[in-house]
Chain A
Amino acid sequence: MPPINDTRTATTAQPPIIEIDGISKSFGAFKVLDQLSFNVAPGEKLALIGPSGSGKTTILRILMTLEGIDSGDIRVAGENLYRMQKNGGLQPADENHLHKMRAQIGMVFQLFNLFPHKCVLDNVTLAPMLTKNTPRRQAEEQAVQLLEMVGLADKAKSMPSQLSGGQKQRVAIARALALQPKIMLFDEVTSALDPELVEEVLNVLWRLSEETDMTMLLVTHEMGFAHEFADRVLFFDRGKIIEDGKPEEIFRHPKQERTQAFLKKIIAAGHRV
């Protein structure tokens, strides 16, 4: 429930926090994204599903500015991601513009990408200290809180190599949260984990959704989790969104044949939907 003095009636009434407008992207001759458009409302939890190579991870990487786009436009909080206003026109974004835009977005990777030469605490404090000039003491206090939230306060002084995969991923989430982004991107964050470690990471996501109103985009193969967790599901196939709707609709009553086939295959592979 929104606070009483909030005049907004529903989240849909707010302008979208992410607007993706006809973007295309090719790797060589392979078209990963084909004239793709969709919006994300503030606070929305969006699951991106679909077969591998369908472009869902590429979308997250483009939003994090790890890949550029060939054409189209992306606006984050109303501002163009890859172009900036300069000299009365739109020009390709420079480092300063990207720096400003990235500050609103955090990303968690499939393979954690922790800094192996830094202890857990330093992994979490480094970004606020370097990019927001947060004093060390304050950054550490915040890091301890975040590590408590992901259940790893006792590992603050451990090196990443001493942690399990699930613990590493939880540190990576804390590290991304330390910059207090408005949008969090989760790229198959449980795919590299042993099955028994998946749940501890998903629990952190649940906690995050309960304690914050962050916008979350998740690329996932955990269909059961996507079903329960997401507000909305996008089904990707060959660089296009072929189905977009509430989890209930997509998982229980998929309209498209390709979605039906994909879900059937997933269920046959033993995943719970």
Chain B
Amino acid sequence: MGQWAGYLQLILEGALVTIKLTLMGSVLALIMAFIAGLGRISRFRAVRALATTYIEFFRGTSIFVQLFWAYFVLPLLGFSLTPLQAGVLALGLNVGAYGAEVVRGAIKSIGREQYEACIALNFSRWQSLRHIILPQAFVLMLPTFGNNAIELLKASAVVSLISLSDMTFQAQVVRAQTGSTLMPFLTILVLYFLMSSVISASIRGLERYLTRGLDGVRS
């Protein structure tokens, strides 16, 4: 049993890396989702085109390839990234592209009457968005953002391919060292599940918090 404690320690160290990747990747994804999602509904055609290109490109190519580009190809162009930086970049940009469509969809789903009230009250476009549209749209984005964050958590395992010692990578190490397959993989199975449960619960909590007093508004 004693030796397992040591191996569990290894896996937990990997879990820490996975958590770090997920958190940092999610922050980048959220930022990208808002930039590209708002870009998609911009008045300026060039901005719309740029946002669309980003979204289609990162949704349309494999996260593996994106990660390899971030880690192996960018250095050839003069940008060297640590494995963690490359992982956060690839995950954030990839999931951000999916999030952008969520942002756009939620904003579009806010009724025209809210925009008209904003015009009648003489708000600028930015004021309408900032104070009226986004706060209502954000609540609608949350459930899908939760899904995206869980996707990101699970996709974070790809970083083991660029030798970043995340949870999956560490499980492989333990398997190689002990020859046991069941223990390490069962452990990380449970850990991934626990982490995604935490994400789900946090999103639900946030949703409840943001919709207090809004009963009858969301269908």
Asked if B117 CB lies within 8 Å of chain A CBs, one says yes
Asked if B119 CB lies within 8 Å of chain A CBs, one says yes
Contact A64 B127 (CB under 8 A): no
Contact B116 A117 (CB under 8 A): no
Q: Which partner residue on chain A sits nearest B127 by CB separation? A: A130
Q: Which partner residue on chain B sits nearest A103 by CB separation? A: B122
Contact A130 B131 (CB under 8 A): yes
Asked if B205 CB lies within 8 Å of chain A CBs, one says no
Asked if A232 CB lies within 8 Å of chain B CBs, one says no
A residues less than 8 Å from B117 (CB atoms): 109, 113-115
A residues less than 8 Å from B216 (CB atoms): 161
Q: Which partner residue on chain B sits nearest A176 by CB separation? A: B120
Asked if A107 CB lies within 8 Å of chain B CBs, one says yes
Contact A111 B120 (CB under 8 A): no
Contact A127 B121 (CB under 8 A): yes
Q: Which partner residue on chain A sits nearest B113 by CB separation? A: A113
Q: Which partner residue on chain B sits nearest A132 by CB separation? A: B122
**Minimum C-beta distance from B120 to chain A (A):** 4
B residues less than 8 Å from A102 (CB atoms): 119-120, 122
CA distance A176 to B117 in the complex (A): 9
**Minimum C-beta distance from B129 to chain A (A):** 12
Contact B120 A126 (CB under 8 A): no
Asked if A198 CB lies within 8 Å of chain B CBs, one says no
Interface residues of A in 115-132 (CB under 8 A from B): 115-117, 119, 126-127, 130-131
Asked if A265 CB lies within 8 Å of chain B CBs, one says no
Asked if A233 CB lies within 8 Å of chain B CBs, one says no
Contact B116 A115 (CB under 8 A): no
**Minimum C-beta distance from B29 to chain A (A):** 25
Chain B at the A interface: SS class: helix
Asked if A271 CB lies within 8 Å of chain B CBs, one says no
Contact B214 A116 (CB under 8 A): yes
Interface residues of B in 105-126 (CB under 8 A from A): 113-114, 116-117, 119-125
**Minimum C-beta distance from A165 to chain B (A):** 13
CA distance A141 to B3 in the complex (A): 70
Q: Which partner residue on chain B sits nearest A99 by CB separation? A: B122
Count A-side interface residues using an 8 Å CB cutoff: 28
CA distance A179 to B123 in the complex (A): 11
Asked if A209 CB lies within 8 Å of chain B CBs, one says no
Q: Which partner residue on chain B sits nearest A178 by CB separation? A: B121
CA distance A105 to B139 in the complex (A): 32
Contact A116 B217 (CB under 8 A): yes
B residues less than 8 Å from A210 (CB atoms): none
Q: Which of A65, A130, A159, A175 contacts B119 (CB 8 A)?
A: A65
Asked if A106 CB lies within 8 Å of chain B CBs, one says yes
Q: Which partner residue on chain B sits nearest A105 by CB separation? A: B120
Contact B132 A106 (CB under 8 A): no
Give A157-182 as 1s and 0s: 1 = Cβ < 8 Å from B's Cβ atoms: 00101100000000000011001000
Asked if A66 CB lies within 8 Å of chain B CBs, one says yes
CA distance A126 to B123 in the complex (A): 9
Interface residues of B in 184-219 (CB under 8 A from A): 213-217
B residues less than 8 Å from A107 (CB atoms): 120
Interface centre among A66, A106, A117, A127 (most CB of B within 10 A): A117
Contact B136 A64 (CB under 8 A): no
Asked if B179 CB lies within 8 Å of chain A CBs, one says no
A residues less than 8 Å from B217 (CB atoms): 116-117, 161
Interface residues of A in 43-81 (CB under 8 A from B): 64-66
Contact A127 B215 (CB under 8 A): no
Contact B136 A117 (CB under 8 A): yes
Q: Which partner residue on chain A sits nearest B139 by CB separation? A: A117
CA distance A131 to B127 in the complex (A): 9
B residues less than 8 Å from A66 (CB atoms): 116, 119-120
Asked if A95 CB lies within 8 Å of chain B CBs, one says yes
B residues less than 8 Å from A126 (CB atoms): 121, 131
CA distance A111 to B120 in the complex (A): 14
A residues less than 8 Å from B75 (CB atoms): none
Interface residues of B (CB under 8 A from A): 113-114, 116-117, 119-125, 127, 131-132, 135-136, 139, 213-217
Interface residues of A (CB under 8 A from B): 64-66, 95, 99, 102-103, 105-107, 109, 111, 113-117, 119, 126-127, 130-131, 159, 161-162, 175-176, 179
Inter-chain pairs besides A113-B116, A117-B214, A130-B123, 10 sampled, C-beta below 8 Å:
A64-B119, A66-B119, A66-B120, A102-B119, A103-B122, A111-B113, A115-B114, A116-B217, A162-B213, A176-B121
Shortest 8 CB-CB contacts between residues of A and residues of B: A113-B117, A127-B121, A159-B213, A107-B120, A116-B217, A102-B122, A113-B113, A161-B216
